[in-house]
Amino acid sequence: MATDVIMPKMGATMEEGTIVTWFLNKGDYVEEGSPIAEIQTDKIAIEIEAEVSGTLLHTCYEAGETVKVHEVIAYIGEKNELIEVSNSSKKMEVIEQVKEKEQVLPPPSTAETFQKIRRTPAARVLANEHRIDLSEVSGTGQNGRIEKKDVLHFINSKKKITPLARKIAAAENLDIENIAGTGAYQKITKKDLMLPKISEKSKPLKGMRKVIADRMSQSAFTAPHVTITSEIDMTSCINLRKELLPEIERSTGLRLSFNEILLFATAKTLSKHPNMNASIIDDYIVEHESINIGFAVSVGDGLLVPVVKDANKLGLTELTAACKELGLLAREGKLLPHHLEEGTFTISNLGMYAVDSFTPIINQPQSAILGVGRIVEKPAVINKGIEIRSMMVLSLSFDHRLIDGAPAAAFLTDLKEILENPMKLLL
């Protein structure tokens, strides 16, 4: 009996996933534990592995489609096994049988026509794999026999298109040479001809980029954002980092960065301002007992926010090790769902770029996010005199539904006090 492959629920908040790509074609054999497809959740991209060995009998959705969790997305079973595919979201019921590729005659060929065509075994197998009608292929072998190289030449030189798509192209006077096919083996289908014309530089909004776009839009339109800023004198923090850097590097082999110092200081400040460590959940304001701080990491065409759990309970050395490990996993694409869950506050640091300040968007259901700009040397008034100091701007965006301006300002003021007097971090 065929085994269902379902869209997994990767975390408590996941409601649907997008199929990024299928690693196998229908009829391919798959070993237990081998990857079948890559899916994109609302947080990460992850591979789905086969729970049994067998033949991939049917895929219910195409790459790019979004599927609810626990929905069947494919079937694995014995070769030639009959399956009944019932997919409520597509409202379809079909009976499908997987046959050995050697038995499949490419339409519109008939068995009689197929037998009359002179071809080598290798040419026949390749033609079956690519669903090619050998009557359309010119043979260069002895007595016109079709060889494998002839099939390869046909594949590389001829645009593959379904009969219906060919009729539409002829009726609409369409040039199919520059149309990319999305069907099996890049075959042009009716759907490809109906797509809107886009420029060569355009690309579809999908995968991680689409998830980020949807979540940012939801946050911007759901939570009334207010952003306040404060300029921080980081001179003392810079000096403290210079003193601690060799000690932490000696004990961990890791280099202490300003990101870890900022996260450490933020965790200490949040412990005094529980209203900033809160969420709105089902019309309730929930002040979280744990202080779990996420920090944004840029990865390719997207952004991930791994979370340091109970950050306020970690020493600076432990915190540095945790941040470095999560950052490495993010960049290598090895984060697991639990690395991204349960965040209660987020830090977005653009200090490595030429950015002084910006307006970060809240990572819901959190209530606030801290944006960090670059450190710049500039004149500052110190004890009625002018000195060159290392200055940095912090931008705090907060959800005005549950946080008012005064409490947010109090939090930012206390964070400024700690960063400008960093010895308090060690007390």
- pLDDT at residue 348 is higher than 60: yes
Highest mean pLDDT among 110-114, 116-120, 181-185, 272-276: 272-276
Q: What is residue 109's predicted lDDT score, i.e. its pLDDT?
A: 43
For the chain, give the mean pLDDT: 84
List where CATH 3.30.559.10 sits in the chain: 208-426
Q: Does the annotation mark 400 as catalytic?
A: yes
Instruction: Provide the 3-class DSSP secondary structure of residue 2.
Output: coil
**What is the topology classification, in CATH, of domain 208-426?**
Chloramphenicol Acetyltransferase (3.30.559)
Q: Does the annotation mark 310 as catalytic?
A: no
**Measuring CA to CA, how many Å separate 410 from each of 72, 230, 269, 275, 423?**
51, 11, 10, 11, 20
Confidence of residue 159 (pLDDT cuts 50, 70, 90): low
- pLDDT at residue 93 is higher than 90: no
Report the candidate in 401, 394, 361 with the shortest Cα–Cα distance to residue 375: 394
The pairing of beta strand 225-233 with beta strand 278-281: unpaired
CATH code assigned to 102-194: 4.10.320.10
List where CATH 2.40.50.100 sits in the chain: 3-99
Pick the catalytic residue from 214, 301, 310, 404.
404
- pLDDT at residue 297 is higher than 60: yes
Distance, CA of 204 to CA of 317 (rounded, Å):
43
- pLDDT at residue 113 is higher than 60: no
What confidence tens digit (pLDDT) does each residue in 236-247 have? Answer: 999 999 999 999
The DSSP line for 371-415 is: EEEEEEEEEEEETTEEEEEEEEEEEEEEETTT--HHHHHHHHHHH
Pick the catalytic residue from 130, 225, 288, 400.
400
At the second CATH level, the architecture of 3-99 is Beta Barrel (2.40)
Q: What is residue 226's predicted lDDT score, i.e. its pLDDT?
A: 95
Cβ neighbors of 406 (< 8 A, separation 6 or more) are: none
Cis geometry, peptide bond prior to residue 108 (ω within 30 degrees of 0): yes
Lowest-confidence pick of 100-104, 207-211, 277-281: 100-104
What confidence tens digit (pLDDT) does each residue in 115-151 have? Answer: 457 778 788 878 877 778 788 788 888 778 888 888 8
Whole-prediction pTM = 0.61
Q: How many angstroms from the chain centroid is the CA of residue 264?
A: 28
Q: What is residue 51's predicted lDDT score, i.e. its pLDDT?
A: 87
Cβ neighbors of 205 (< 8 A, separation 6 or more) are: 213
185 C-beta neighbours (distance < 10 Å), count: 12
What confidence tens digit (pLDDT) does each residue in 165-215 have? Answer: 777 777 777 777 677 777 766 778 877 777 555 555 667 777 777 778 888
List where CATH 4.10.320.10 sits in the chain: 102-194
